[in-house]
């Protein structure tokens, strides 16, 4: 009977530890989040392990240029078919 409760107790202890760490480092986590948000809003890239968020402003500008090129081709096509 006790062997069956060990995994449940382990899970409870892990959850309690994680919640305690979050509460203990609450200020630091808030500061980290604010710094990341400011950095991303300014357009900088961010990488943490496998997670990478690139420079959004450069990507947006690249997409805008592609759209402008396509629009110019459509305008030329439209004008040549008239």
Range of the domain at 71: 45-82
55 and 23 co-located in one domain: no
1 and 34 co-located in one domain: yes
36 and 1 co-located in one domain: yes
Residue range 16-45, pLDDT digits in tens? 999 999 999 999 999 989 988 888 777 777
How many domains is the chain partitioned into structurally?
Answer: 2
Spell 38-65 as b/e; 16+ CB within 10 A means b: eeeeeeeeeeeeeeeeeeeeeeeeeeee
- The band of 55, judged by pLDDT with boundaries at 50, 70 and 90, is low
What's the confidence (pLDDT) of residue 29?
93
Q: How far is CA 55 from the centre of its chain?
A: 12
């Amino acid at each position: 009977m006790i062997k069956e409760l060990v995994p449940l107790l382990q899970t409870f202890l892990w959850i309690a530890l994680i919640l305690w760490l979050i509460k203990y480092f609450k200020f630091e986590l808030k500061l980290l989040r604010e710094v990341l948000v400011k950095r991303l809003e300014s357009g900088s890239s961010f990488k943490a392990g496998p997670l990478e968020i690139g420079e959004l402003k450069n990507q947006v500008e690249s997409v805008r240029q592609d759209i402008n090129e396509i629009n110019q081709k459509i305008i030329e096509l439209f004008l040549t078919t008239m």
